[in-house]
Structure formats: structure tokens, C-alpha cells
Structure 1
Amino acid sequence: MSGGWNTIESDAGVFTYLVDNLGVKNVQFEEMIALDADYLNQQSPVYGVIFLFKYPVGQKKADEAVDGQYDFAASENIFFANQTIQNACATQAILSVLLNRGDLDLGDQLREFKEFTQAFPAELRGEALSNSELIRGVHNSFARSSPFIDEGTRAATEDDDLYHFIAYTPINGILYEIDGLQPSPISHGKCTEEQFPEKVIPVLQRRIERYPATEIRFNLLAMVQDLRIRAAEIGDVETVAREDEKRKMWIWENELRRHNFVGFAHEVLKRAVASKLRDGKYDEWIDEAKQKAKDRMSERKKVRGEKEDIASP
């Protein structure tokens, strides 16, 4: 395989334009700020949800699922791929929803990928996904630019904060949890498309309850139909305009992710120093900066002293 996979953020704008760049039509993501079935139902049609959580490093795999039941037979009938490479789980979770829907326009290339891997076992599907230049290239185009390259690698320990993406989606009347690190899809019982918001929320709540009450680092994104479609159908001009503005912001934010501003800041500083040196004001500029720093420190000490006086009995 040529090239690796970079980490991407759990962000509605990132995921929306990721699937758009893969050729998928009329799909977007909405961030869920609360585990609320009514709110999720308002986004209908909901195709699935992508859940981000802290992965318990060192946890031993059990013969039985902690919640729900392994459905090994389903691996042959639905798209399920083992995760075979690091950092691919976000896109893999997204594809676990997309490639199990029969009502979405996937575009030519993703449809061909689905057909090509249809008869593959889960591990080989994972290898095919990891080696797809299209999917890897689109995925990496949304990674944050960083000037710092870590040349060393090591095995993760229990002290590391590692995060993992999984998908929940209704397939053939069953609510499935699809996690590439598990041996098969996990069934959470019968579930129609209409029941999905009500059925998935308790499953997510039980998953979160496995963690200490102090753990709040979770993120949930719903994969839904482009909200402008339904708004346009009912003549909701305000929603269409609001969604258009949101997409403009997403495009801007995604462009910022691609730029390395450390180099930009370094170049600005070099030019500023060169300008002061050229004008013979470099020492004056440094002395002025030092004095401002001293003034700020004195002001902070003064404020801190006043607070201590107020707090004294």
C-alpha cells in the first residue's frame, strides 16, 4: 500500500464534504448536541449515526458482545469490513452506513467499489478499503496540516487517549452497530427506518454509561438527507438560505484545515524583524516589548493582591 491515513476531525462540515468529494449526492451530517430521539427524528430521513468515543486501550476482546449480539451471518449479506489500518475508522464508519443503503446515490466510483468487494470476506474488504487511492486520498484531504512530523512509532498504552469511530444504522429491519475492530456486526434487535431515532438513543446511552461520570469526550453525528431538499419542497426559504450559509462556512473551515499557519507566522515575524533592523529600530522594538511584558506582570500582581485583600478576613 502506498501512503498512510491521517487523523481527521469529528465534524459535520468535514464529513459532509468528505462524502460529497467521494461522489455521494444529497447527504449531509448534523451534530447531535444531546441524546434526544425527538430532535434526531426532526432530521428525518436519518440514514445512521457516527459515534466517537475514547477507546479502551488494552481491553481484551470477549467472545460475546458487551451489549447486543454478534451477528456473524450478517457479514455475508451487508457491507462489513474489518479495520486493518490505523486512522481509517472515521471514513470506515461513514462507509458502513453509505454502503448499506439502497436509497442513496453513491456515485459511480463508490458504487463500483461496493460491487467489487461484495463477495469479499470482512478482512479482505478492509484491505480493499485501506488500499483504495480514491477513498484514502479524499480522507487525507481533510486532515489538518501540521509542520511537525513524528518519525517514531510505538504501541499505544493504557495512558494514551485514543478515539474510535463506529456506526449505527438500520439494515433489513435490524439495528446494527458496525465497528471494524469487532469480529462482526452487532445486532441490537428489530428496528424499522421510522423507529431508528427511538431505538438508537437507548443503545448510545448504555454505551456512555460504561464510562465514569467524569468522561464527557463523546461526539455524535447524524447522517441525514440534505436539509435543503425538504425545505425547498415546502417552500421554507429561510432554512434553505441558512443551510447555504452553513455550507459556505464549512468550505472556509475546511480550507483553513489544509493550511500550515506556523510557516506563515514565521515568515511574518522574519519580515517584521528585517524591517526593524533596516530602520535601526530593532533594539528599541525589543525594549518596548520587554517593558510591555513587565507592565502586564505588574498589573497581574496588583490585581492578584487586591483579590487576596478582599478575600482576607
Structure 2
Amino acid sequence: MFFAAQTIQNACGTQALLSVLLNKEDEVDIGPQLKEFKEFTGAFPADLRGDVLSNSELIRDVHNSFARSSPFISEDQRSATADDDVYHFVAYTSIHNTLYELDGLQPAPISHGACSAAELPDKVIPVLQRRIARYPAHEIRFNLLAMVGDLRVRAREAGDMEALLAEERKRTGWQWENALRRHNFVGFVGELLRGVVKAKIAAGEGEYERWVGEAKERTRRRAEERRKKGGAAEDTDA
């Protein structure tokens, strides 16, 4: 069984996918690079596997091609801890007819009893329900992702051109969404504001305070205008 500890933050999604994929080598062609990675780390303990995984140039490049760009977070800043469990992806899969929970923040795989691959959709439901029940009843921030074969292959085999076109359109949309996600202008805006503040302070004593005061006054006027418009609308409705 392949199981790796999560040793860096913000990598749980990629690691959960790999936890499933690398345990399905008999069913899925994982390619020579992932196969070589699995064979190389086969005798390693879980923590060392996690280190090798996080230092794999191939895996890191693919992960970064989908990850949200952020100027404030570095994948190498700190190790993952139990505190990262708040928003965390965990893999559930059938291995050797047993349902396993593969969570990189846990010390080892967790067995949930006998389960064949065909039984997985039914037997994983109560396990997920128990996990969700650990959180407050009002909590709704949960995601469930299923790893399936490429639906385009199935559509081609069935000769379903409509389904094939629909899948191709999905991937075009995904590429566009990913391109947008990769652009993050927070860092640029932050540097721009620093430059403006620095210029205002350098302009002379009191200039910075005057600038802040003018901004507050403009904000106050806009808020007052909105209140007046809101009152007018209420009078009209009455």
C-alpha cells in the first residue's frame, strides 16, 4: 500500500489524489514517472515518502500549475500540522478488499472494514457521514470529489458525440478558469499602496493626514448619499 505523510501545507488535494492513484496501479496506467516514484519510495517510511513527494519536481510543477497563486503563502514555509485538518482533503479507497482512509495528517492508514471496489460507493457513505457529524450542524463547507476514468474515452467507445462535445467544452472551461485562478494581483496592489503612502509621507508634514482625512470624507459622503437614496426608495414604495 502507498501511504505518505503530508509534510508541507496546502498540498492535501494533490496528495489525496495521489493516494488513490498510486494504489490503483493494477487498474490504471499511472505512467512511467509515477511508477518509478512509487517503486523508489516503496521501502520508505511514511514521513520520508512525504518528503520525497514534496520534493518531486514533476509533482510540484503539476501541483503549481493548478494551485491558486498567492504572494503570502509559500509551500516551503512550514510543515503541515493537525491544525490544517480544518479544510483538508482525505482519500477513501478500496485496497485489497478493505476500505481505507488515507489522511496524510494521520500516522497511518485507517481501516473502515471489508469493502470491495464495487461496494465502495455504498460503504463510504456512512464513513463520510460520521466525519461530517464531527462538525457543527450549521457547517456546510464540505467537498466530495470522485476519481473516475476519462469520460471522453467512454463517449468515444459508445459513439456518443454529444457527450464527447460536452466533455470537451468542460475542459475548455476548466482551462479558462485555471488561467484566471493563476492571476493574483494582491501583491501588485500591496506594493502600489506602499508606494502611494510613501509618496504622500515624503510630500511633507501633514500631507499624509490630509490625504487620509479626504478619503474618509469621500467615504462619508458616499454613505450619506446611499442612505438618502434608500430613504427615497422607501418613500416611493410607501
Name the residue aligned to 1:279: none
- Hey, what's the Cα distance between the residues in 2 that align with 1:294 and 1:309? 23
Displacement of 1:297: 5.0
Name the residue aligned to 1:46: none
- The number of equivalent residue pairs is 208
Name the residue aligned to 2:179: 255
Q: Which has the higher helix share?
A: 2
**Residues 1:203 and 2:127 are matched in the alignment:** yes
- Hey, what's the Cα distance between the residues in 1 that align with 2:45 and 2:168? 41
Name the residue aligned to 1:227: 151
RMSD over aligned Cα atoms: 3.3
Taking a change above 3 Å as real, the CA distance of residues 215 and 308 of structure 1, as seen in their structure-2 partners, is farther
- Hey, what's the Cα distance between the residues in 1 that align with 2:102 and 2:30? 19
Displacement of 1:222: 0.7
Displacement of 1:85: 2.0
**Deviation per CA, 1:44-72, whole angstroms, max 9, x where unpaired?**
xxxxxxxxxxxxxxxxxxxxxxxxxxxxx
**Residues 1:237 and 2:161 are matched in the alignment:** yes
> 5+ residue gaps in structure 2?
193-216
**Deviation per CA, 1:153-174, whole angstroms, max 9, x where unpaired?**
8x9898x994211100111111
Q: Which has the higher strand share?
A: 1
- Hey, what's the Cα distance between the residues in 2 that align with 1:211 and 1:308? 45
> 5+ residue gaps in structure 1?
1-77, 268-289
Displacement of 1:116: 0.6
Name the residue aligned to 1:12: none
Name the residue aligned to 1:93: 16
List aligned pairs for 1:115-264, cutoff 5 A. Answer: 115-148=39-72, 162-261=86-185, 263=188
- Hey, what's the Cα distance between the residues in 2 that align with 1:212 and 1:122? 32
Higher RCO (C-alpha under 8 Å, 6+ residues apart): 1
* Aligned-pair identity (%): 64
- Hey, what's the Cα distance between the residues in 2 that align with 1:157 and 1:116? 28
Of the structure 1 ranges 241-250 and 197-206, higher mean CA displacement relative to structure 2 is found in 197-206
Name the residue aligned to 1:79: 2
List aligned pairs for 1:260-275, cutoff 5 A. Answer: 260-261=184-185, 263=188
Displacement of 1:299: 5.1
TM-score by length of 2: 0.75
Displacement of 1:149: 6.4
- Hey, what's the Cα distance between the residues in 2 that align with 1:308 and 1:190? 67
- Hey, what's the Cα distance between the residues in 2 that align with 1:247 and 1:217? 25
- Hey, what's the Cα distance between the residues in 2 that align with 1:239 and 1:148? 41
Displacement of 1:305: 5.6
TM-score by length of 1: 0.58
Name the residue aligned to 2:197: none
**Residues 1:298 and 2:222 are matched in the alignment:** no
Taking a change above 3 Å as real, the CA distance of residues 225 and 156 of structure 1, as seen in their structure-2 partners, is closer
**Deviation per CA, 1:162-213, whole angstroms, max 9, x where unpaired?**
4211100111111110001112111111111111111111111111011111
